[in-house]
A and B are shown apart, each in its own frame.
Chain A
């Protein structure tokens, strides 16, 4: 709860920076604030309880705190990484406050206990992102990205509201626990429109995590948005959306999983196939990573599908979102530096092994992790997901996931091959800011460390 309050306060502080003209101080203040939020979050975790205000609406239990921790840590790295892009902008304050508001929404999504908080969280997270996606005002692609994201996002919000209304109509409550109680009380006697409501909410959430067939916006939005914003979307937003899905479908609708699990299974299968095969034929790096994020979404959805009521589920999802977020921050940081001249094809990576060996090495680790090659965090992330799936009846999905992962390796390796085996047109070294260099090295080391001691997360998060 303190983390949420600190982050929303920071957003308002950013607005005050515009009013009272302390723009230069804003970046260190924001970094300190995020760190403070993280520490507050950590202390709430250790003390084992959260201040119980608004207890009926939002509750930072252990699960919520764990996901908040992942989000805040990612956000901390993201701010250092992205500062180079924002620094010289006249609208730096607007960008910072929008990102912080989006972060507020993301934290709400980890801890909501009520449908109203869920909806508000999604809107608070999405509305700043619509604007941020379109923030390169003179760039047609960026405008298109913002517009598409807005239209599709509003559509999804409509579905969510309709679903909430139907669920309310059937259960008479917005509260997750009360809905759960009602389900176990009524059993199969729930009216049919209740299930329609669940499916509508599922569709809306799948829109938000860009799972196929609701993924059409993702490639265009990821490609058109400024690279740092794409990094934010594929890390913080993804993690928050999955925390929300987990909460919604395990707490509230866990009792009627047979009504939505088949839909979810087919969505996962579609996402795996469409994402990996589409990614393989792309030439734009950001677009490829957009498709890759769809395939990662499919993996994370598998955890929800497994619907195991045990620590393994939470561990798997946490580990996956941590590994994916950290890897993505490193990858997007490097993409941001490499594509500064506007060329976003794979060719822009040609000869990076010579032009900046350190960056190339970090990129290799990030790509290996995203591809799920052993000793990196990404491998164990996938491994944990597979272990949750083993006991369930979805073995075919497991086989499909392994096969499509093999396709995935191909397009991740395209970057590595370009970096080391292709001749660059220019020999001039790629420069990188010192702060970004630190982030790159830290995230890379973290990826390797997570892979070296995969039990670490499970050990740390004893629920």
Chain B
């Protein structure tokens, strides 16, 4: 982390992105061009295990998925806070440990609360 850190230091990463993207695009275009194409009605239909599809795929689904996702985000944010602590672990010393552990302890209450509420249990 020297003071010479400038945006141009990310050039290798940018190059990697370009190569990765380029590979994907090239293979997709190439397979599209090279492969034989036989379009029939049945082949282009959306299918589900051989059963005739009917209706629209946009059907409302259970709120339970959403609850799990939202709880995931909350704990995700908690974990984010640990990166700066981990990097500064030595400098912050025992004070930092206490600070972060009290933060985690508070959220641990939330975690057990979540379990007590059976928020992540599928069956009602």
Contacts and interface: CB of A to CB of B under 8 A. Distances in A.
B58 interface: no
A18 B109 CA distance: 10
Interface string B83-110: 0000000000000000000000010011
Contact of A12 (B109, B115, B116, B117): B109
A19 B112 contact: yes
Contacts of B106: 12
A18 B113 CA distance: 7
B71 to A, nearest CB: 14
A161 interface: no
Contacts of B115: 19
A15 B112 CA distance: 9
A16 interface: yes
Number of chain B interface residues as a range? under 10
Nearest to A21: B116
A18 B115 CA distance: 10
A404 B97 CA distance: 58
Contacts of A18: 113, 116-117
Interface string A9-34: 00010011011000000000000000
A19 B106 CA distance: 14
A12 B111 CA distance: 12
Contacts of A16: 109, 113
Nearest to B113: A15
Contacts of A19: 109, 112-113, 115-116
A15 to B, nearest CB: 4
A19 B110 CA distance: 10
A15 B117 CA distance: 10
Which of B106, B113, B115, B117 has the most C-beta atoms of chain A within 10 angstroms of its own C-beta?
B113
Nearest to A14: B113
Nearest to B117: A18
Nearest to A18: B116
A184 to B, nearest CB: 35
Contacts of B112: 19
A19 B115 CA distance: 8
Contacts of B113: 15-16, 18-19
Contacts of A15: 109-110, 113
Interface string A248-276: 00000000000000000000000000000
A16 B117 CA distance: 11
Nearest to A12: B109
A164 B116 CA distance: 39
A321 B121 CA distance: 45
A407 B95 CA distance: 60
A189 B123 CA distance: 64
Contacts of B109: 12, 15-16, 19
B81 to A, nearest CB: 14
B111 to A, nearest CB: 10
B74 to A, nearest CB: 12
Interface in A37-91: none
A402 to B, nearest CB: 50
Nearest to B110: A15
Nearest to B112: A19
A105 to B, nearest CB: 15
A16 B106 CA distance: 11
A285 B113 CA distance: 38
A12 B113 CA distance: 10
When A and B form their complex, which 6 residue pairs have the shortest distance between CB atoms, in order from nearest?
A: A15-B113, A19-B116, A19-B112, A18-B116, A12-B109, A15-B109
Interface of B: 106, 109-110, 112-113, 115-117
15 contacts: A12-B106, A12-B109, A15-B109, A15-B110, A15-B113, A16-B109, A16-B113, A18-B113, A18-B116, A18-B117, A19-B109, A19-B112, A19-B113, A19-B115, A19-B116
Given A15-B110, A15-B113, 12 more contacts: A12-B106, A12-B109, A15-B109, A16-B109, A18-B113, A18-B116, A18-B117, A19-B109, A19-B112, A19-B113, A19-B115, A19-B116
